[in-house]
Amino acid sequence: MHDDHDHDHDHGVDESGNPWPDRINEAYYGKMGEDFGARTRDRINWRAANAAGKTALDVGCSQGITSILMAREGLRVVGIDIDPPTVRYAQAEREKEIPSVRERLEFRCCELAALGDETFDTVVLGEVIEHQTNAVRFIRDAVRHVAPNGRVVITVPFGLHPFPDHKCTVFPGDVVEAIGDAFALVSLDVTGGYVRAVAERRAGAASTHEIVVDTTEKGTIEAQQKYFAVAAREAAANKATAAANAQLTALRTEHKKMEAAVAEAAAKAAQATEKLATQSKTLIETGHAQEADRLEIARLTDLLEQRRRAFEDAGSALLATERKVGALEIELEKAKLARATLEGETKQARAAADAEVQKAQTATKSEVAKADALRRSLEDAHAMRTAHYANLETERERTKKLTELAQRLHEDNQRFQQSLALALGQAIFAMKSPKGFIRFPRTVAGIARRYMRRGSEGVVLQPLELPKVAPSIAAPRPRSGALGADAVVVDKEAVAAANALSIAGWSEQVKPGVIRVMSVMDEFSRACFEPHASLVEPRPDNWAALLDAAKPRMLFIESAWKGNHGSWQYRVARYAHPPGRELPLLVEECRARGIPTVFWNKEDPVHFDNFIDNAKNFDIVLTTASEAIPNYQARGVRKADTLQFAAEESLHNPIGSAKRNGRVCFAGSWYHKRAHREDDQRMLFDAAAQHPFDIYDRNYNPENPSTVFAFPEEYRGFVKGRLPYAEMNRAYREYSVFLNVNSVVDSPTMFSRRVFELMACGTPVVSTWARGQEDTFGNDLIWHVQSREEAEVAIRTLLEDPREWRRRSLAGIRAVLSAHTFRHRWNHVLDLAGLRGEQAADPLERVLVVAEAANAHEADAIIDAFERQAMDAGVAKRLLLALRGGARPTRAAANVELAESTDDLAALLARAPADARSGAIALMSPNVVYGRHHLQDMLHAARYSHAAVTGRPRSLARDDEYAFDVALAPGSLLFKPGVLPGTGDASALLRGDLASLQGQRTYAADSANYAETTASPQHEARASLLQEVEV
């Protein structure tokens, strides 16, 4: 690896006689120019960043900077070079590193052949290929040392570089030819005049024609851009030279004028001196004339001095201009040389690109022909499938009825065949012949015996055997709704009967106070929206009947691939041959009835094109990715808005999560085809592997654990199988830390729904950065990491620091449950559709705090605690404070009602206005210090637990947190609407008499933001205690 690219060779010959010695470390640290150093660092850092595995070989390691960087990041590295002084320099640099890095790093002065059969996870070829006479042969020799599933990382100048130590010209096609079919390209690019390539040794590599062409074209364009930049600089230099020449001509003219003026002044001075000499004898008599002449001489002398100085200045300016012109002429010559070089380089690049394009076009024609044949086959198959589906439901019902009719006729026929009447009739009919007449008595006797033997067992019926008919495929029905000449007139009664049959078994289950919505969703979304709406879930064959029967107030369709238990598969997304147009017809009918239609694309931005054809027909389009909104508006959608993912509090909550297992978990897939995500996964997994670590693989296949979707070998020991969605919620509550890797990183609103769910369960998340996560939650709730070192610090801190774990856990629960649940998302949908007013009021959006105070100090403490409480947006709080013994607070406060009475709190509540008692009721005590999130957390717990009474655990044992039916702290109780009046005296509850809670479902949240004292503490003590308990 040499530093001769884009740099003048002004550093002489090294001790080995090499006329082009290598100084790459000096270039990396900026000692050979900042601009050159920046470009060099970018290439070297890129090579080190793309190294993978545990071992690496740096071929042509030079002064060793790439090897050192990889060793610092944990790889065991061998650097080789054939220049002894350079290797000695690298070994000296190695001695400057810490012991652990030195132990992983080795430099050898040798060639490739000396390595024998050694293999490495990564082989780096950094700017060494161009110094070989045969690039393809050299690359092939190097990649023999790549281990199975290993990779090769290459940087090499693109095309022609006229440097004396360059022995070959390299294009992207040379790299691809050299690595062969045993390698699959991970990336191939041209940046800054250098080919950058990463390839992995694995079978089944895909065609690289398009990649090579694209890369060659990019390199050619970059070379042309450089050529035009040089041409522009040459034009500017020519222009500057012309201007300088013009200025020089003007200065020379001015210089000649000044010389003439100086000569004239000198002549006048000489004349004045001569005149002074001739008149010297008469100066005494003519003093005034002498003085005048003296002054004239002085004036002329000053003028001469001024002209002399002007002459000197003009001479200096002339000299500077001549130097400038010389420099510009030198620059012009350099520009001409660079243009000539680039013209040759461009011609070679264009020729190479043309050759690659020709090869790619030939391959493309073949592939297009194959694709066309497959497309025609697919169209034929789709046509047959469409025709079959169109008639399937009708034929199935018709077949069922015909089968039932045939069964009845078959049974009736058997009964008739075995009936007494038929046997007697046949015997009578046989009497027409003499033989029959003679046999008649015996025949009748036989009939009687058979009938008596059959007795009560009745007729034995044989099963119906239907004939087997080979299936046939009818021609597909036309998509157009136009009726032909042979169209059949619709039988309205038959249609009504068919509609009634299509919804047979549908039960109307209407929840009080919620909107009835016709919906198509997948199972996850259904589970999340179902608690907040009465969902009517149609199939493609019965939506019309359900629309009449259920009369929904809104149509809500999401970007489901298999909506409503798979019945809407292929009907919501765009397909070349959809089985039917039920969705557009459903939307059109809803619009005709004035029913608002809403489409939610939760697959944006990746699958925008898959759903836009249907989405654009809806009144309202919602997207998880706000950056997609302009795209919808450009397609004619008038109302487009954002609907992020969220957590469903009835599913995603911390219930039963008090005991964590002290382990780290990742759940998801390994992304082989997304390099940046694969790098992020390796970074997180390598950090997590230092601790107890489990992986749940979404694509886990126990019968074939080595599929293309499997995790790499180094992580398979951590894989525990896969978990279905229902069990995943349990895992959320068991693990101490969860890892998250983002595929979409630049969306302001789109990121994994798992982040919401984990935070709602109180599980801290260590994640790679995503803009949406930062914009939604900031950088404190989710621990964003960008390197293995940062990840190690984050995981270690969360596993070893209980206070930090608890802070992030509680803050995450609070952040999600206060603004990012599907209840919040559904209310937003109703607002957009104009239906929020039809939804019943939420009783947990009002809380009445009840307390009593015996003196002014206690009254002030209660009011301070009440005012301190933070509430979710839209939640109103109110305080009913009973004052005993004439106690009065020292100040007034908003939303506080004072009641001077000796009645117990239950009596006071009974007299309170109905609207005050219709929400939740909470108790407060002056002998408790409340953190600012106490009430907020209690309301969240009441909502997700569905318990009648929630509170803080009375015991400090961790097992009592997030648990049902454990002892609750009296001063923390919160009652759901309608519960407290039936539990007895609230004053007795505050004193600790909890007997009246027997039979009520109770739930204990966490123990933070709450501390009991023996008496109401003074201000300083309360402030100190508050600082300890508030989380």
pLDDT tens column, 882-895: 888 878 898 889 99
pLDDT at position 1004 is 94
Q: Which residue has the tokens 């709704």?
A: 481
Instruction: Give 830 or 460, the one with higher predicted confidence.
Output: 830
Residue 705 confidence (pLDDT) = 65
Which residue did the predictor score with more confidence, 597 or 307? 597
Instruction: Give yes or no for residue 748 having a pLDDT over 50.
Output: yes
692 and 789 fall within a common domain: yes
Reported as a pLDDT band with limits 50, 70 and 90, residue 985 is low
Considering the domain architecture, whether residues 245 and 201 belong to the same structural domain is answered as no
**Pair (397, 519) in one structural domain:** no
- Please check whether residue 733 lies inside any domain of the structure: yes
Residues 1018, 929 share a domain: yes
Instruction: Sort strands 783-785 and 846-853 into parallel, antiparallel or unpaired.
Output: unpaired
pLDDT band at 1027 (very low <50, low <70, confident <90, very high): confident
- pLDDT confidence of residue 457: 56
Q: What is the extent of the structural domain holding 397? A: 227-411
Domain check: are 191 and 287 in the same one?
A: no
Domain contains 484: no
Q: Based on the fold, state whether residues 636 and 668 are members of the same structural domain.
A: no
Question: Phi and psi at residue 738, in whole multiples of 5°?
Answer: -120, 145
291-295, 472-476, 553-557: least confidently modelled range: 472-476
Do 867 and 791 fall into the same domain? Answer: no
Looking at per-residue confidence, does 497 or 814 come out higher?
814
Output 479-482 pairs: Cβ under 8 A, ≥24 positions apart: 479/581
pLDDT at 476 over 50: no
| 567/668 same-domain check | no
Is 196's pLDDT higher than 90?
A: yes
pLDDT band at 986 (very low <50, low <70, confident <90, very high): low
Name the token pair of 18.
Answer: 């090499």
Residue 87 has pLDDT above 80, yes or no: yes
Task: Report which residue type is found at 81.
Answer: D
Would you say residue 435 lies in a domain? no
The percent of residues above 70 in pLDDT, for the chain, comes to: 80
In 3D space, the residue among 599, 732, 745, 655 whose CA is nearest the CA of residue 1003 turns out to be 655
For residues 85 and 118, state if they share a domain.
yes
User: What integer pLDDT is reported at residue 924 of this predicted model?
Assistant: 93
287 in a structural domain = yes
The residue ranking higher by pLDDT, 301 or 92, is 92
- The pLDDT tens digits of the residues spanning 634-692 come to 999 999 999 999 999 999 999 999 999 999 999 998 877 666 778 899 999 999 999 99
Specify the pLDDT at position 273: 64
- 779: domain CATH number is 3.40.50.2000
**Residue at 505 is within a domain:** no
Domain total for the chain? 5
Do residue 298 and residue 400 come from a single domain? Answer: yes
Q: pLDDT class for 16, splitting at 50, 70, 90?
A: low
The larger pLDDT score, comparing residue 484 to residue 715, is at: 715
Q: Which residue has the higher pLDDT, 342 or 409?
A: 409
End position of a domain, from candidates 173, 206, 239: 206
pTM for this prediction? 0.55
Q: What pLDDT is stored for residue 744 in this prediction?
A: 87
Mean residue pLDDT across the chain: 82
The residue among 274 and 477 whose pLDDT is bigger is 274
On the question of pLDDT at 944 being above 90, the answer is yes
Lowest mean pLDDT among 92-96, 272-276, 383-387, 713-717: 383-387
Q: What is the pLDDT of residue 471?
A: 43
Least confident of 105-109, 154-158, 436-440, 802-806: 436-440
C-alpha to C-alpha distance for 733 and 712, rounded to whole angstroms: 27
Mean pLDDT along residues 923-950: 94
Residues 606 and 726 both lie in one domain: no
* CATH number, domain containing residue 874: 3.90.550.10
The residue among 675, 309, 1006 whose CA lies nearest residue 683 is 675
Nearest to 628 by CA among 515, 619, 616: 616
pLDDT at 860: 92
Least confident of 171-180, 229-238, 606-615, 882-891: 229-238
Please indicate whether residue 347 or residue 598 has the higher confidence score (pLDDT).
598
CA–CA dist 840, 515 (Å, integer) = 9
Q: Is residue 469 part of a domain?
A: no
Q: Is the distance from CB of 118 to CB of 145 less than 8 angstroms?
A: yes
Same domain membership, residue 696 and residue 608 = no
**Is the model's pLDDT at 781 over the cut of 60?**
yes
Q: Could you tell me the two tokens for 964?
A: 């049902």
Q: Please name the residue ranges forming H helices in 95-208.
A: 99-104, 135-143, 172-179
Which range (159-168, 793-802, 896-905) has the least confidence? 159-168
